[in-house]
Amino acid sequence: MTFQDIFKSGFLESVTEFSAVDILIGMAFAVVIGLFVFMVYKKTFNGVMYSTGFALTLVGLCLVTTLVIMAVTSNVVLSLGMVGALSIVRFRAAIKEPMEIVYLFWSMAGGIVTGAGLIPLAVIGSAVIGVILMLLANRKMHENPYILIVNCEDEQSEQTALHTAEKAVERFVVKSKIVNAGGIELTAEIRMKDAATSFVNRMNEIDGVNNVALVSYNGEYMS
């Protein structure tokens, strides 16, 4: 085949036949893979606010990508047109969590591989990715840090509160300390030995301690 033959209408207009069964099978596997990505995202989510819309987008993205790849692989002209059209598309959706990028690429990759007809690769690869993410996410949840905020009236009550907290937690690191006329505000990052938070109640009962707050820490000082 010469270079001129590429631009012959017969070559450009050639379309690979897709049977209805092939299309249904491909879309069915895309739904299964998309739902699996959705389930793993829901199980491993540990951010500030869970977004149902983003989770459903993962399923839709897998389906749409599968459909596009099926069309691209069936016709040369259509593939060139889609490359040009998609190159000018700009998305402005904000990514709240870094892990959301992983799920977006995972959903797209599942759709691309499924649309290309490599269904075993899509299924096995998605299963491996899902298992790894769930194992790492569960391990992270057990080591979830917390921020402890203590307001004290004087240095003596501060030392007593610190001693109580250090005995109850596995790790205690002071992050900030503010001293003013109203008293002392101490902020510390802690790693608890278990899920028990009764030590916060004991700290609040100390004379000179005005209030104690325990906040889940996930990269921002809010939960």
- Per-residue pLDDT, averaged over 28-48, amounts to 87
Residue-wise DSSP of 124-193: HHHHHHHHHHHHHHHHHHHT--EEEEEEESSHHHHHHHHHHHHHHEEEEEEEEEEEETTEEEEEEEEEES
Report how far residue 59's alpha carbon sits from residue 38's, in angstroms, rounded to the nearest whole number: 7
**In the block, residue with structure tokens 């491909």:** 26
- Mean pLDDT, the chain, integer: 79
Residue-level length of the chain: 223
- Per-residue pLDDT, averaged over 107-129, amounts to 90
Tokens, residue 42: 């829901």
Report how far residue 206's alpha carbon sits from residue 161's, in angstroms, rounded to the nearest whole number: 7
Among 142, 175, 196, identify where a domain stops. 142
Range of the domain at 22: 3-142
Tokens, residue 53: 């819309």
In terms of domains, do 24 and 94 share one?
yes
Confidence of residue 7 (pLDDT cuts 50, 70, 90): very low
Where is pLDDT greater, at 5 or 210?
Answer: 210
Report how far residue 201's alpha carbon sits from residue 216's, in angstroms, rounded to the nearest whole number: 17
- Per-residue pLDDT, averaged over 102-128, amounts to 90
Residue type, 7: F
In terms of domains, do 101 and 150 share one?
no
pLDDT tens-place string over residues 81-109? 666 555 555 656 666 677 888 898 999 89
Lowest mean pLDDT among 69-78, 170-179, 207-216: 69-78
Reply yes or no on whether the pLDDT at 180 is more than 80: yes
Residue 65 lies in a domain: yes
pLDDT tens-place string over residues 41-69? 988 887 667 778 888 889 998 998 888 88
Report how far residue 69's alpha carbon sits from residue 63's, in angstroms, rounded to the nearest whole number: 10
In terms of domains, do 135 and 163 share one?
no
Distance of CA 34 to the CA centre of its chain: 15
Q: Which of 110, 113, 139, 119 is nearest to 36 (CA)?
A: 110
Reply yes or no on whether the pLDDT at 4 is more than 70: no
Q: For 97, phi and psi rounded to 5 degrees?
A: -125, 140
Residue 178 lies in a domain: yes
Angle, alpha carbons 219-58-65 (nearest 5°) = 135
Q: How many domains does the chain fold into?
A: 2
In terms of domains, do 21 and 108 share one?
yes
- Percentage of the chain beyond pLDDT 70 is 74
